[in-house]
Amino acid sequence: MQLRRQTLILIAALCIALAATFFFGFRAGKTARHVHWKNEAIRGWMTVPFVAHTRHVHEEMLFRAIGVTPDRHDRRPLRDIARAEHKTTRQLIDQLEGAIAANENKAP
């Protein structure tokens, strides 16, 4: 009886392990399929030069769009810049997204 219970627990654990493997494998594959065309989302931890690098735009343009003096050594995360500029991080990210979109529309 005890043996049967242990076997059933092991079978259940095996099913969970296989389901987890399938889930993570599937999710990894799905992300890998979209990695080429999806733009990197802008997050509050990123610096302006980091955003410029991931979105392939000039950092001066981004600094100007958020009203900050361009400085390529400015390592402040967006959340800190937002606080200093009395804005929310979301507002700052929206400004950056807007500037990037405008730049893309301008490009031939």
List residues near another protein by CB under 8 A. 3, 6-7, 10-11, 13-14, 17-18, 20-21, 24-25, 27-28, 31-32, 34-35, 38, 40-41, 43-47, 49-50, 53-56, 75-77, 79-80
Nearest distance, CB of residue 41 and another protein, angstroms: 7
Q: How far is the CB of 26 from another protein (least distance, A)?
A: 9
DSSP assignment of 77-103 equals BHHHHHHHTT--HHHHHHHHHHHHHHH
Pick 45 or 101: Cβ nearer another protein: 45
Measured from the CB atom, the residue of 12 and 102 that comes closer to another protein is: 12
Smaller CB separation from another protein, 41 or 107: 41
- Tell me how crowded residue 83 is: count the other CB atoms within 10 A of its CB: 14
Cβ closer to another protein: 46 or 62? 46
SS3 5: helix
Alpha-carbon distances, residue 61 vs 11, 37, 51 (angstroms): 58, 23, 11
Q: How far is the CB of 3 from another protein (least distance, A)?
A: 5
Inter-CA distances, 8 with 3, 16, 61, 97, Å: 9, 12, 62, 53
